[in-house]
Structures are given as C-alpha cells and as structure tokens.
Structure 1
Amino acid sequence: MTEYRIKRIYEAPEPSDGLRVLVDGLWPRGVSKVDAHLDRWARDIAPSTELRKWFNHDPARWEEFRRRYREELRGHMDDLKPLRADIGRPVTLLFSARDAEHNQAVVLKELLDELQATNRS
C-alpha cells in the first residue's frame, strides 16, 4: 500500500519523501531543478490554468475548487496510474502554494487515498 504525503517544494528534501512528484502546472519561483530533487513533474494532473486563476488560493472558494479540480482529474485517470502503482515507498506530492491546507496537493492526496481504499475493498 502506498503512503501519500504532501509537502511544500520549498522544504528540504528528505530520504523519507520517497518518490517526489511536483503537482503544480507552473515551475515554482526560486527553486532550481537540481535543488528540487524531483522524480517527476506531473503537469498533466495540475489544475487547469482557468481553475487555478479562478481559485486564486481564496479559502472561501475552497469547496468549489475541490469539486471542480476533482472533476478535472476524472479526465486524467490514466495520468494518475504512475502515482497509484505500489512502488514500495512513499509518494510525496509537492506544491508551491503558501497555504498548506488549501491547494491542489491536498485534493489530489484525498483522491489517491480514496482510490487506494476502493481498490482494497
């Protein structure tokens, strides 16, 4: 069973991160590709530009953002397959937003956890 975690890309990488996957559509400011220590940049599963701009990290729009982003992800289930494979180590979903509670990595982790639970039943 894969353990999904979330972490800001600005935090130092650790061996316990396992597979490090950036889930932002835009490259984070001030982070070099070398310093990011990424295994994958999953741009295809990031929120659309339109949704990202609409949300604008406004907590008042959080529930609607979650609903809309999950709807977008339904069209990218094939792109989620590499993250859903049991690779024998954690998968850390990296994001650049300042708000650790209201961002796409939170929604993506929720969905991946749900999909994993469904597959076990």
Structure 2
Amino acid sequence: QALSNIVWAWATMKFKPAKEVLTAMELRMLACIDDFNAQALANTVWACATMRYKPSQEMMSAVERCTLACLDAFNAQNLANMVWACATIRYHLSSRVLASIERRTLECLHNFIPKNLANM
C-alpha cells in the first residue's frame, strides 16, 4: 500500500521523478505486487499514466494477474481508473482481463458516477 501511495502522491502533485527512480519503484512493486489490493493496483497504474510513465511489460503482466485475482473487490472508481490508465499509456489489456472487467463493470454499474462512465 505504501508504494502505491507514494506514486499516487507524486502524480497528484504533478511531480515526475527521474526514470531511474520510477524503475526502482517498479522493481520494488514487482516484489510485493501480490499484496496489492484493488485500490492499490488501480491507483498505481493511474499514477503511472498521469506521470506519462509506461511500466514494463513484466509489471503490467503482474498487474493483470493480480487484477484477475482480486477483481471482485474492484469498485466503480477502481475499474474506471484502471481502464483509463491503460488506455492513456497505450497498454492493451488481454482479452481475458477485458472480459472480466466488463463482467465486473456490469455487476456494479449502478455505482458508477458520470466521471467513471466517461473514463470507461
């Protein structure tokens, strides 16, 4: 959670650390990504997109794997942030992840606010 909070804070402050710092953070995240919850996953990818930093394929594959593992915990904002972020960094989610996100979106569509819908 702390790592996700750090990159979220950087993005929120419109601060983009040096590529070496982002790469080091990414390596640390990979070591503990299985502990990330839905919000941490979505916020991490959102922060990367906001900072215009495209994570490695290894990182994004881990994000996809963990997203599938905890997708039922994703809320409307998590879903919208994840989809928006992937589109922004031009990362193509696998068809399996997209289908799962579509299913989860339909399950919690009643909780979406206009901004969430626009970001989908």
Please say whether Structure 1 and Structure 2 have the same fold, judged by a TM-score greater than 0.5. Answer: no
Could you tell me the TM-score, scaled by structure 2's length? 0.31
Q: Which has the higher strand share?
A: 1
Q: Which has the higher helix share?
A: 2
Could you tell me the TM-score, scaled by structure 1's length? 0.31
